[in-house]
A and B are shown apart, each in its own frame.
Chain A
Amino acid sequence: MSSGSDHESGEMPEEVVEFLVESNENLDRLDQDLMALESNPHDKERLSSIFRTIHTIKGTCGFLGYSKLESVTHVGENLLSKLRDGTFVLNATLTDALLAMVDATRAMLHSIESTQSDGDGDYTALVSLLSELTVNGGEGSAAEADGAANVDGESEPTSVLSQNGDERSVSSNALVFSTKKPDAPPVSASGPTELAAGVATVVDSSESGEVAEPTSVTVGTSSQQEGSSSGSSKTTAPENHEGTPVSADVRSVVSDSSIRVDVALLDRLMDLVGELVLARNQILQFTAAESSSALISTTQRLNLITSELQESVMKTRMQPIGNVLTKLPRVVRDLARSCSKLVRLDLEGKETELDRTIIESIKDPLTHLIRNGVDHAIETPELRKAAGKPLEGVIAISAYHEGGYVNIEIRDDGSGIDPEKIRAKAVEKGIHTPETAQKLSDRDVINLIFSAGFSTAEKITNVSGRGVGMDVVKTNIERIGGTIEVSSQVGIGTVFRIRIPLTLAIVPALVVTCVDQRYAIPQASLLELLRLEREQIDADVSVLDGAPVYRLRGHLLPLVDLAEVLGISDGERPWTKESLNIVVLQAEETQFGLVVDGVVDTQEIVVKPLGRQVKAVTTFSGATIMGDGKVALIVDVAGVAHLGRVLRTARDTESKATVTRQVEDLGEKQTLLLVQVGDSGRVAVPLQSIDRLEEFRADAVEWAGGQPVVQYRNTIMPLLWLSTAVGLTSASDPGETYQVVVHSANSRSVGVVVDAILDITEQRVTLDQYAARLGVLGSAVISDRVTEVVDLSVIIGDFLSDLVGIGV
């Protein structure tokens, strides 16, 4: 995980490195095994696997001189041997103590990794607890045992401390490899200080234990096979498929057919393949001009082989999602115990594979959702009983492929999200007034949990008091191009659905040009490509108050000039040119058109990260290497949208108020044109009632029958002033041009003159109808201001009826 570990491993003897990798792998499995054993305490196979793991760690660490680790694992082994021999049967007390031992072991391994010493943590309490349990099997000392796994780490170690203080005595009959001092001086105590006198704080140490593990992954020679995808150890690796212990034969096949490969090497391999693809592309270009059929067929073979190689190398980077999921049962168990709940975690689709970079980035969001589920969703057994539910709550995670995506569903059978509570919360937080909150649909209300600063946790529990809200979960998932949705039914449960791309390393992209440079736009955001000739530009592109829009199938699509956003524009407005290339993109909820100079083609690009000197540039998400060897930047669509001011999200703090109000309901979202009428009046016009936006010079206005008209598209179009129509006194000084909203009905157009066009906004509108009158639908809060929403068809109908007989 940390690149630092690579540096240190260079100085570490290889057997220590091997020991750390091996032990961490085994420990991860041990968590699983212990919990599985708890539900099926007589599973012999699992018992001996657990025993062997601790036995191996103990046996090896003795050689390496880690005496403290040896003493802890020694008593653990003793206790386990009693279980293996059937002297005791595993119970919760023993499981807690053994898990605490696993945590202590993990902490010491962590310490060894960073300081090459097993640290100065004091594990005497744990050692004596385990020793005692070895004698009484956990029947007589439940109090101490509870302490051992107390999640908040504030147990009372004094009760068992120094009962058997001399930890060396337990292994005095072992011969110690004498090349190292048994007790290395305390160097850094990062790991063990988190432990209260030998009592593991479960949460902390399980996190610290992750440090050594991800530096290598196991690659099966046939990675598709289910067996190798989850068999992460080349040595023992009993599979964790519940209830189906893998036979000895299968296991040995797995161990023979997989090797451990350093992730850095895989990344390097990936880079090299990228280079090869590049060279291949160049050769393809050259041979296109050649006529030698031998050369052409050879090139075609090279082409095929390269593609296959690229695909295979991609696959080596794929890891089963189980690698993240396997940590969760432990999280659930500890959490459930600490809040006295019964929770079962069902995992399905553990073998579903994802690129390892994505695996890394969904770890935290998933863990957070699970913690939330246990802490808030699943009820206490008493409540569940009262509700007629099974005492044990279930959280089920399932993962499966669909298209180029992986879907992850997290379903619980808990209390569900109560929309009323969320409404109350929204009001309390000032996000909504009691009235607007009532008008929100339940579905919208539930989705409020993803809003920034909206945490439903009423009390800071030891579980979820980590200061991260659902908004962070959502942000993290969106950052990797994913989406998350929630649905919930009170009393029945909640389902979160996450959809994420399979890989981030190679993505299909559209290559465009802009001011002599090429840019890659990920196709995930691409909706369509448009090329407009001069005529269409004149007809369908308008500039509203400096902001260009294109009328696309009845909707106004805001346009963003890429060159302008990037600050490399030569000042010429692209819509004044002979043709216009528009890339229609989706950024979060909004669609917009990105204006570029040219469109080159679509291709698969290898995504490379940007250096830290340019990371802060929000318009780019990475870079890639083109066929000719030059670097092209990858456009961050959301970043460009933000900078182009077509997107506002909750992350823009200044517009937070606007956004939260945008959630206001009345069914469909509406796109509204905000216009100024009179000197300071402001009204909103639903966009679907507008056909066109035009600008006329004041001297183009003529008079016919006492009615102002303009010549427009070979007809005479009457004008009406919106300010007058809505009852505002006079218009402001007309200036040199008129901004005109054209409305057509029954094959006749009317120009509605407004004083300025302010903005286009898309939102749900709640109309307050007290102000309703002819032509005014009501008023609503739009962009922080009370704004009247007008109904153009009524205004124009009224206007036209007055015109009858004038003959225009």
Chain B
Amino acid sequence: MSSKSTRNSQQYCTFYLGDLLLGISVEDVQEVIKTQDMTPVPLAPGVVTGLVNLRGQIVTALDMRKRFQLNGGFPKPPMNIVISQEDGAVSLLVDEIGDVVSIDPESFEAPPETLEGACRELVTGVFKLEHSLLLVLDLAAATAVEEVAAA
């Protein structure tokens, strides 16, 4: 239900941001939807792309490329991963959605030293997959952007 459960779950919804493969626990994901009509919020932090109407629920869309301080915009219309949080839903805008992968919690490792910058603060750990490294997103950190808001 909350991001705290990340460590214990087995199934991860994966997504791409540039070269990064990231994952969040499927339990945290409410749904995945295509790009929606968005209402921009003037004066909001840059990470906030806008507000989306999801069946009557107002969802705050957050640009994960900006959150990860990646260069460049989305290569194609981004996907929305809708996360239900206690104080309302947020949508993570990402490049592309990957598979749902099952992972043995045993293989969870701390973020490697080589991770740098924003990425390091937004990842709770990594899983070594066969061909790649899956970074586990720290949902609380990734969605905590209010402190940079305009006063």
Touch between chains A and B, by CB atoms below 8 Å: yes
Q: Which residues of A contact B (CB under 8 A)?
A: 3, 7, 271-272, 274-275, 278, 517, 566-568, 608-620, 623, 625, 629-633
Q: Which of B40, B150, B151 contacts A517 (CB 8 A)?
A: B40
**5 pairs of residues in contact across A and B, judged by CB atoms under 8 Å:** A568-B42, A614-B41, A617-B44, A617-B149, A623-B39
- Known contacts A7-B1, A566-B42, A566-B43; is A616 also within 8 Å of B151 by CB? yes
Tell yes or no: B80 within 8 A of A by CB.
no
Residues of B within 8 A of A615 (CB): 146, 149
Q: Scan B4-37; emit 1 where CB is below 8 A from any A CB, else 0.
A: 0000000000000000000000000000000001
Tell yes or no: B57 within 8 A of A by CB.
yes
Q: Which of B37, B39, B60, B151 contacts A611 (CB 8 A)?
A: B60
Verify A619–B43 contact, CB threshold 8 A: yes
Verify A617–B43 contact, CB threshold 8 A: yes
Verify A630–B149 contact, CB threshold 8 A: no
Residues of B within 8 A of A7 (CB): 1
Tell yes or no: B45 within 8 A of A by CB.
yes
Residues of A within 8 A of B37 (CB): 629-630
Verify B150–A617 contact, CB threshold 8 A: yes
Verify B90–A625 contact, CB threshold 8 A: no
Nearest-neighbor residue (CB-CB) of B147 within chain A: A616
**B: contact size bracket:** 20 to 34
Tell yes or no: B86 within 8 A of A by CB.
yes
Verify A275–B55 contact, CB threshold 8 A: yes
C-alpha gap A567/B42 in the complex (Å): 7
Whole-angstrom distance between the Cβ of B57 and the nearest chain A Cβ: 7
Nearest-neighbor residue (CB-CB) of A617 within chain B: B43
Verify B88–A609 contact, CB threshold 8 A: yes
Tell yes or no: B122 within 8 A of A by CB.
no
Verify A613–B45 contact, CB threshold 8 A: yes
Tell yes or no: B137 within 8 A of A by CB.
no
Residues of A within 8 A of B146 (CB): 612-616
C-alpha gap A613/B62 in the complex (Å): 9
Residues of A within 8 A of B59 (CB): 611
C-alpha gap A614/B47 in the complex (Å): 10
Tell yes or no: B79 within 8 A of A by CB.
no
Nearest-neighbor residue (CB-CB) of B86 within chain A: A3
Verify A613–B43 contact, CB threshold 8 A: no
B61-106 residues at the A interface, CB under 8 angstroms: 62, 86-90
Residues of B within 8 A of A623 (CB): 39, 51, 58
Verify A633–B56 contact, CB threshold 8 A: no
A-B pairs with CB below 8 Å: how many? Answer: 90
Verify A631–B150 contact, CB threshold 8 A: no
C-alpha gap A95/B90 in the complex (Å): 51
Whole-angstrom distance between the Cβ of B30 and the nearest chain A Cβ: 14
Q: Which residues of B contact A (CB under 8 A)?
A: 1, 37-45, 47-48, 50-53, 55-60, 62, 86-90, 143, 145-146, 149-151
Verify A271–B57 contact, CB threshold 8 A: yes
Verify A614–B149 contact, CB threshold 8 A: yes
Given A613-B44, A618-B151, 5 extra CB contacts under 8 A: A609-B88, A615-B146, A631-B39, A631-B51, A633-B51
C-alpha gap A278/B38 in the complex (Å): 17
Verify A271–B56 contact, CB threshold 8 A: yes
Verify A517–B39 contact, CB threshold 8 A: yes
Verify A614–B60 contact, CB threshold 8 A: yes
Residues of B within 8 A of A619 (CB): 42-43
- Known contacts A619-B43, A631-B39; is A611 also within 8 Å of B90 by CB? yes
Q: Which of A3, A568, A609, A630 contacts B39 (CB 8 A)?
A: A630
C-alpha gap A517/B43 in the complex (Å): 14
C-alpha gap A610/B87 in the complex (Å): 9
Residues of A within 8 A of B151 (CB): 616, 618
Q: Which of B43, B58, B149 contacts A631 (CB 8 A)?
A: B58
Residues of B within 8 A of A610 (CB): 51, 58, 60, 88
Residues of A within 8 A of B53 (CB): 625, 629-631
Q: Which of A275, A613, A614 contacts B56 (CB 8 A)?
A: A275
C-alpha gap A611/B48 in the complex (Å): 10
Verify B39–A613 contact, CB threshold 8 A: no
- Known contacts A619-B43, A633-B39; is A613 also within 8 Å of B55 by CB? no
Shortest Cβ-Cβ A-B pairs, 4 listed: A616-B149, A566-B42, A611-B60, A631-B39
C-alpha gap A181/B89 in the complex (Å): 41
Whole-angstrom distance between the Cβ of A628 and the nearest chain B Cβ: 9
C-alpha gap A797/B116 in the complex (Å): 76
Nearest-neighbor residue (CB-CB) of A268 within chain B: B56
Central interface residue in A7, A611, A625, A630, by most chain B CB within 10 Å: A611
Residues of A within 8 A of B45 (CB): 613-614
Whole-angstrom distance between the Cβ of A237 and the nearest chain B Cβ: 33
Verify A611–B58 contact, CB threshold 8 A: yes
Whole-angstrom distance between the Cβ of B94 and the nearest chain A Cβ: 16
- Known contacts A275-B56, A568-B42, A625-B56; is A611 also within 8 Å of B149 by CB? no
Verify B41–A620 contact, CB threshold 8 A: yes
Whole-angstrom distance between the Cβ of A119 and the nearest chain B Cβ: 25
C-alpha gap A271/B52 in the complex (Å): 15
Whole-angstrom distance between the Cβ of A537 and the nearest chain B Cβ: 25
Q: Which of B43, B48, B90, B145 contacts A567 (CB 8 A)?
A: B43
Verify A613–B60 contact, CB threshold 8 A: yes
Residues of A within 8 A of B43 (CB): 566-567, 617, 619
Nearest-neighbor residue (CB-CB) of B50 within chain A: A631
Residues of A within 8 A of B149 (CB): 613-617
Verify A608–B58 contact, CB threshold 8 A: yes
Verify B58–A625 contact, CB threshold 8 A: yes
Central interface residue in B56, B62, B143, B151, by most chain A CB within 10 Å: B56
Residues of B within 8 A of A618 (CB): 151
C-alpha gap A7/B1 in the complex (Å): 9
Nearest-neighbor residue (CB-CB) of B41 within chain A: A614
C-alpha gap A197/B43 in the complex (Å): 53
Residues of B within 8 A of A613 (CB): 44-45, 47-48, 60, 62, 90, 143, 145-146, 149
Whole-angstrom distance between the Cβ of A346 and the nearest chain B Cβ: 39
Residues of B within 8 A of A633 (CB): 39, 41, 51
C-alpha gap A615/B88 in the complex (Å): 12
Nearest-neighbor residue (CB-CB) of B56 within chain A: A275
Verify B56–A274 contact, CB threshold 8 A: yes
Verify B48–A614 contact, CB threshold 8 A: yes
Nearest-neighbor residue (CB-CB) of B89 within chain A: A611
C-alpha gap A615/B87 in the complex (Å): 11
Residues of A within 8 A of B51 (CB): 610, 614, 623, 631, 633
Residues of B within 8 A of A566 (CB): 42-43
C-alpha gap A496/B143 in the complex (Å): 43
C-alpha gap A517/B37 in the complex (Å): 12
- Known contacts A629-B53, A630-B39, A633-B51; is A614 also within 8 Å of B44 by CB? yes
Residues of B within 8 A of A278 (CB): 56
C-alpha gap A567/B47 in the complex (Å): 16
C-alpha gap A629/B90 in the complex (Å): 18
C-alpha gap A18/B39 in the complex (Å): 43
Residues of A within 8 A of B1 (CB): 7
C-alpha gap A611/B92 in the complex (Å): 13
